[in-house]
Amino acid sequence: MRTRSSNGSMPTSPSKERLYERARDWVSPAAIFVVLVVLTIYPLGSLLLQTIFPHLFDPLPSLGLSAGPLVQTFIDSSNLVAVLNSASVGLSASVLAVILGTLTAYGVRRAHGRWLRVVLSTSVWLIFFSPSYVLAEGWILLMQDNGILAQLFHLPNGWSGWFFTRPGLVLVMGLRYFPFVHLAMVPAIGNVGEDLFDAGRLLGASRGRIFQKIALPLLAPAWLAGASIAFAEGFGDFGFAAAITPQTHIPLLSYQIYAALSQAPVNYSAAAGLSLLVVLVTAGALWLQLWWLRRRGAYETLSGRSRIGGYATSRGRPSPATLASLVLAAIALLLPLGATLWVSLFKSLSGGLGLSNLTLANYGEALVAGGGVQPLFRSLEYALVAAVLTALLAVLVGYQLVFRGSAVNRVLNLIVISTIAIPGVVMAAGFVFAWNAVWLIPLHLVLYGTPICLAMAYISGALPYAVRLQMGAMSQISPNLPIAARVLGAGQRTVLSKIILPLVSATAVSIFFLSFTNVVFELPASSLLYPAGSPPLPVAIQAKFNAFEWTQGAALTVMGMLVILGVYGAGSYLAYWIEKRRHAALMPLPAGGSSEPEAVVEDRKPSVARL
Amino acid sequence: MGAELFRSGRFVWVLSFVVIVLILGGCGASAKQGSSSGSGQLVLYSAQGYDSAMAKAFQAKTGIKVKLVDDSTGNLVAKIEAERSNPHWDVAWFDGDSTMQGLDNQGMLLKNVTPGNAKNLTPQIKSMVPADKSYYAVSKTAAAVIGYNTKSVLASQAPKDWTDLLKPRFKNATAMNDPSISGPTYPFVAGILQTMGTTQGKKFFSTLKADGMNVFPTNDNTIKALSSGQVKAAMLQDTALLDAKHSGSPVKLVYPSSGVFALPGCISIDKNAPNKAAAKKFIDFVLSPEGQKVMLNPKNGGGDSYFIPGIKGVKPDPGRPVTGIKWVTVNAKKAAANENQIKQWFHANITQ
Amino acid sequence: MNDDGSVQVELKNVGKRFADRTVLEDISLRVRRGQFVALLGPSGCGKTTLLNILAGLIGLGEGAVEFDGAPWSSRGYTLAPERRNVGMVFQDFALWPHMTVFENVAFGLKVKKPPDKQFRTAVSAALEMVRMNGYENHYPHQLSGGQKQRIAIARTLAPRPSLMLMDEPLSNLDSKLREQMRWDLLNIVQEANITTIYVTHDQTEALSMADHLVLLNEGRIEQQGAPSQVYREPATVFAASFLGAANVLHGRVTGRSGKVATVDCLGKKIQAISPASVGEQLALIIRPAEIHVGDSRREVEELGTRLHATVEQRAFQGTNWQYRVAVDADPERVLEVQDSSEYPIGESLRLWMPAGQCRLVTARLKG
């Protein structure tokens, strides 16, 4: 037997290679870990540590250990009630979001003709982009006694009493969060293909059975991707609950946190203890979900070879799903957004709905006299930087978590995602503690008070959504696609840039817009972290609201949304233009490869199912 | 198609380049700002509507650059507390002496501040300045008055005092803010408990709640509910109601006959402020007739400008009622001491 | 070209565990240059794990993998896949949907260090080999299943790998296409003269294509050898039944005369050529086609056992009829036999089981 090859091109000794190979295996997980530490773990840890070290950030920091705040958090029965309430609200909202999001995803798939599809998809995206307070505000203007609907239809006081209770809250949340499910579902339905459902139907299976045996396991990953965000959002919600249910107050966990923050002196250890509870519950829910997925082996089922469930192309009457989706989109979007637009045009808030009460003056006043131009541009800059970095980071982190699985990954995943439910103000406070800490002074690393710190907080806030969405997209890519490239000699970097990135680029673009919008309207981090003297747009808007200049605040909000729409339109056009040019250079392709400008809207990620 | 966008690898590079340029731009800007620190700058944390105009006026007068952080009182205090080991602010300015007292109790404020213009203070305002002179009261508003919607309540049926809101005609039609969330509401609740007595005061709120009172998080929501007619009457800060009234909402104010609770605007200096001289200059400016006139212009401060001036010889805005008001001073130290207990009671019995 | 018969890939006692489950145990195998080796086994037998270890996609727990004598994998060391120069063909083809056929095939050449400057000619050559010239500008979704697999093979061949790994490459194709592709694939691989390791659960593929067959079961090598040898001389019940229909009878060895052992089963004493000793409890294996129907001449010419049976079911298979017959001496037992003549159901048959075709193996029932 030959012991050694004479061929010098092969590595001759494992010991020389070993270190390098091992190091290389650790480089990218380590880099991602560092990024997550900087953006999430360190700030969150700085906050949560205060549950046991309440004096860690005192003017004279001490490591005095105290279990008091933690014990207090867990033995206070009102906290238990709050957890249960928050969980039930979050769960109901996510169930509703799943139902609505599935409906609209089918609606888009079934829509006849491009226009209908563009209208539907764009509406869902606009809801996705709309700041929550705009939607909440819109609903109140619409539904309250003497509100717009009451005035239009002469409804008696108290007609909408049901709306301002728990069911109304869940309804508003469901209408707010369903785009998360929709966006995950559209590609999933495409990948699963309707022939699988047809097969079940031909075998005489009832609809219920088809749902249980075919739809549920196949679509579960997409549902859960969307539902988990909806749950975490609903679980950590404060704004909606405070706005919608002032009379029948539902004690929620987020309320307890706000109450701790408005004490004098501010009780950060209590807020941290409650936040820990938030993290635990959210992480628990996510863990359950992952466990369920693993048990069902749901991910594997998506690597099959079902025919692509394409968009409907034949002419004819729109399907019921499409019609219902249109109605839904109109309700979820036009009513609340219309209300904000309307208010931005009011001369006086109580001047009635007549034309005589309308003016454009608010815009001029808000932008020029009110100094809204600079904050607007500032926020655009933050948004651009944060959104690009978030989209890229999401691809990197998603790749690490999906394709390079390890036990550490699961922990990272839970950490990143359970931060969704932590109220923004708490996370922002974590950033203050973390990046204003005294031990950073000698290192010249006190980032708090600089634009970098705010940008980091923006990215940190958008990252959980981004990673979740990106993981949903990546879990539908056959693991063989990157493996094939690896085996052919591509390094991890090449695999990422040449194989994975193009396949998930539509999702990356979605994430870019999501983060962009998030940043333009993100309030808690903006207000706690902005560099003195340089307020971003959300702070400027909030200042208008605080000064009861609602019409100007609404005008600034509308301006922000217009800018987002503009960026969105420009991005879509850019993508359209690039592809058109590319196709002109290639031979003409038969149907299937045609270019559609809404591709940025849709997650049209080509995937295994198309093979 | 997004795929195509990324396929032209150049796109990613162009984007990265743009991002880097923007980041460098941001750093450059902040470095420039940083370099101008020292004697020539002041960081002002303020919740007052007129703070931006005051910052400009002060800068124009003294040449000291003012970097403003404007936010709600709650957020400002949360920020100040979070920064407590390494403060970034020089001057803090917001309504509510019990809240400012809370910061002083933690030893965060510079004591024995003696601005020259302190001599201008009116007697009632002067009585609100603590003995250790760690903060100054500079203005006065009512923590809460009754506002009613003129479209749904006839002037003859308007409430005269707090207890009038218990009448059947206001059933399911009243509102107030949540003291756990809204800054000026706690002094009002504490004031009611102080003047009516704890038992009667609590009974007052419980009865209102049983009659269907709405508890909104902040002024913002309550004012909207009142202006739009969702509720007929609301109890909240007079400046907010005056602003609504003057901007055309069908709202009228009632200063209850049993008295309203004085809510002073308070200003203080960080114990470790690098530039205490500039901070003192700013307080002097706030206490000067020149400064108060800037604050009193509703064009500068919106609703917040409808306050009672803190110094002698300056008249409030004509839109603000001055006479016929019975002022009651809430004991700031006592209110600060009972704060958490009262808020918890309110949350458990009224908010829920 | 390289077919000098020397060992190219050697696996030494390879073992692998995932968490608490042993996936591979003590796998030793030598693959000669230019050989076509099939790894055959039921799903879950560890064959894909073994392929991934060969590709360097996962590390191994014990043992070692060497290529041309140089280490590829050992405990704690895994040479990265991109440094092994292997090609891999997948069950789901794994063509990159965002790239044209040309870009797919050229990928491996472009990422090479240094990049292959003649990649255009190499792509053409590879496409020529799989007869797919003219499809350069198509996207994968515009191709049929068979075409996709050809492109996937061309993509693997283009950088001229020193080892080709195939993971059930035909199982996503329909049966007719699969048969055609079997011939084509063999042709392509022979033409390219590349050592190939082919994973499959389909015994027809394994038997018809491989030079060397490795039968895996529950993470262990059940048997290996030339396909015809493994087929004809299965060492275990599992080997016999997995490679095609086989009658498996259980019984005790009760007598021996010379090379011939006598086994008690089917209510008969059945003769089998075997070194088994008296008293052993064994399984007797005979394939349906090896049982002769109605042929009395053989009874004179060779050793064997005669049985009488009744036709219970029959199926026409083109060349042959397949029968399920009940043995008269033990009516509970049903045997499967094949014959070219047609017999009606209920017909009494005279069967001959040649002792040379009756193999005795240990009665382990696994599989």
Mean pLDDT of A418-431: 78
- Strand, helix or coil at A94? helix
pLDDT at A500: 87
- Strand, helix or coil at B37? coil
Phi-psi region of C337 (alpha: psi -120 to 50; beta: other; left: phi over 0): beta
CA nearest to B11, candidates A578, A466, A508, C97: A578
Q: Does A405 touch chain C (CB under 8 A)?
A: no
User: One-letter amino acid identity for C103?
Assistant: E
The Cα A48–Cα A69 span in angstroms is 11
Q: Which residue has the higher pLDDT, A412 or A519?
A: A519
Phi first, then psi: give them for residue A81, nearest 5 degrees: -60, -40
- Strand, helix or coil at A605? coil
CA nearest to A46, candidates A528, A414, A431, A421: A431
pLDDT over 90 (residue B111): yes
Exposure on the CB side of residue A368, measured as CA atoms within 13 A: 6
pLDDT at A212: 64
User: A18: nearest CA in chain C?
Assistant: C77
Best of C51, C93, C102, C173 to substitute, by most chain A Cβ atoms within 10 angstroms, is: C93
CA nearest to A382, candidates A538, A554, A507, A510: A538
pLDDT at A249: 66
H-type helices in chain B, by residue range? 2-7, 10-35, 51-62, 73-82, 97-105, 123-126, 185-196, 198-210, 219-227, 238-246, 276-286, 289-296, 298-301, 332-346
pLDDT over 70 (residue A603): no
The Cα B275–Cα B87 span in angstroms is 13
pLDDT at A214: 66
The Cα B310–Cα B137 span in angstroms is 7
pLDDT over 80 (residue A594): no
The Cα C273–Cα C255 span in angstroms is 12
Average predicted confidence (pLDDT) for chain A? 74
Which residues of chain B neighbour A151 with C-beta distances below 8 Å? Answer: none
pLDDT at A207: 65
- Strand, helix or coil at C264? strand
Cβ contacts from A onto B, under 8 A: 252
pLDDT at B8: 43
User: For chain B, which chains pass the contact test of at least 3 CB pairs under 8 Å?
Assistant: A
The Cα C77–Cα C66 span in angstroms is 12
C-alpha distances out from residue A208 to A94, A190, A215, A295, A348, Å = 21, 21, 10, 22, 53
Mean pLDDT of A555-564: 86
What is the per-residue pLDDT across C68-80, written as a single tens digit (0 to 9) for each?
A: 989 999 988 888 8
- Read out DSSP for A279-295? HHHHHHHHHHHHHHHHH
Mean pLDDT of A356-379: 80
Q: Does C136 touch chain A (CB under 8 A)?
A: no
Are the beta carbons of C81 and A498 separated by less than 8 Å?
no
CB contacts under 8 A, A 332-361 vs B, are 347-351
Q: Which residues contact A326 (CB under 8 A, 6 or more apart)?
A: A107, A116, A119, A120
Which helix or strand (DSSP H or E) is residue A152 part of?
helix A148-153
* Packing angle of the helix pair A373-403, A537-546 (nearest 10 deg): 120
Please, are residues A239 and A136 in contact by the beta-carbon 8 Å criterion? yes
CA geometry: angle at B67 spanning B65 and B70, to 5°? 145
Q: For chain C, how are helix, strand and coil distributed in percent, rounded to 5?
A: 25, 40, 35
What is the per-residue pLDDT across B227-256, written as a single tens digit (0 to 9) for each?
A: 878 889 999 999 989 988 888 888 999 999
Mean pLDDT of B53-82: 89
pLDDT over 60 (residue A537): yes
CA nearest to A571, candidates B24, B6, C99: B6
Strands B145-149 and B233-236: antiparallel
Which helix or strand (DSSP H or E) is residue B308 part of?
strand B308-309
pLDDT over 80 (residue A110): no
Mean pLDDT of A310-315: 46
Which residues of chain A neighbour B340 with C-beta distances below 8 Å? Answer: 263
Which residues lie across from C314 on neighbouring strands? C323
Residue A5 neighbours by CB distance under 10 Å: 16
Q: Does B66 touch chain A (CB under 8 A)?
A: yes
* Confidence band, pLDDT 50/70/90 cuts, at residue B264: very high
Residue B156 class from Cβ within 10 Å (0-12 exposed, 13-18 middle, 19+ buried)?
A: exposed
Exposure on the CB side of residue A322, measured as CA atoms within 13 A: 19
Six-digit token string for A260: 């701790």
Please, are residues A530 and A374 in contact by the beta-carbon 8 Å criterion? no
Of B69, B83, B348, which has the smallest distance from its Cβ to A436's Cβ? B83
Residue A537 neighbours by CB distance under 10 Å: 28
Q: Which of A178-192, B105-119, C167-181 has the highest mean pLDDT?
A: B105-119
Please, are residues B253 and B79 in contact by the beta-carbon 8 Å criterion? no
Q: What is the ipTM of this complex?
A: 0.79
The Cα C250–Cα C361 span in angstroms is 10
pLDDT at A610: 23
Cis peptide before C114 (omega within 30 of 0): yes
How far is the alpha carbon of A481 from chain C, nearest alpha carbon, in Å? Answer: 5
pLDDT at A611: 22
Please, are residues A21 and C78 in contact by the beta-carbon 8 Å criterion? yes
Cis peptide before A217 (omega within 30 of 0): no
Please, are residues B110 and B278 in contact by the beta-carbon 8 Å criterion? no
Mean pLDDT for each 10-residue chunk of chain C (367 residues)? Answer: 71 87 89 92 86 88 91 87 86 87 90 76 88 89 88 90 89 82 86 90 88 91 91 87 85 85 83 84 87 77 84 89 88 86 90 87 61
Give helix then strand counts, H and E, for chain B. 14, 12
Are the beta carbons of A308 and C141 separated by less than 8 Å?
yes
User: One-letter amino acid identity for A129?
Assistant: F
Of A13, A487, A503, which has the smallest distance from its Cβ to C81's Cβ? A487
pLDDT at B23: 64
Mean pLDDT of A507-521: 84
Q: Which residues contact A573 (CB under 8 A, 6 or more apart)?
A: A597
User: For chain C, which chains pass the contact test of at least 3 CB pairs under 8 Å?
Assistant: A
Residue A298 neighbours by CB distance under 10 Å: 20
The Cα A33–Cα A409 span in angstroms is 10
Are the beta carbons of C6 and A2 separated by less than 8 Å?
yes
Q: Which residues contact A506 (CB under 8 A, 6 or more apart)?
A: A473, A599, A600, A602, A603, A604, A605, B1, B2, B3
Which residues of chain B neighbour A605 with C-beta distances below 8 Å? Answer: 3
Six-digit token string for B302: 């919106």
Q: Which residue has the higher pLDDT, B11 or A216?
A: A216
Q: Which residue has the higher pLDDT, C131 or B292?
A: B292
pLDDT at C243: 86
CA nearest to A308, candidates C141, C147, C145: C141
pLDDT at A213: 66
Looking at residue A606, the DSSP 8-state letter turns out to be -
Are the beta carbons of C137 and A494 separated by less than 8 Å?
no
Which residues lie across from C212 on neighbouring strands? C37
Q: Which of A165-169, A211-215, A402-406 has the highest mean pLDDT?
A: A165-169
What is the per-residue pLDDT across C166-224, written as a single tens digit (0 to 9) for each?
A: 988 888 788 888 888 888 888 888 888 889 999 998 888 888 889 999 999 988 999 99
Which residues of chain B neighbour A607 with C-beta distances below 8 Å? Answer: none
Which helix or strand (DSSP H or E) is residue C10 part of?
strand C7-18
The size of chain B, in residues, is 352
CB contacts under 8 A, B 287-326 vs A, are 301-304
pLDDT at A313: 46
pLDDT at A12: 41
Cis peptide before A265 (omega within 30 of 0): yes
User: For chain A, which chains pass the contact test of at least 3 CB pairs under 8 Å?
Assistant: B, C
- Name the CA dihedral angle for B303, B305, B307, B308, rounded to a multiple of 10 degrees: -160
pLDDT at B24: 60
Looking at residue B110, the DSSP 8-state letter turns out to be P
pLDDT at B253: 94
Residue B147 neighbours by CB distance under 10 Å: 30
Are the beta carbons of A350 and B228 separated by less than 8 Å?
yes
pLDDT over 90 (residue B133): yes
Give, rounded to a whole angstrom, the gap between the first and last alpha carbons of chain B: 51
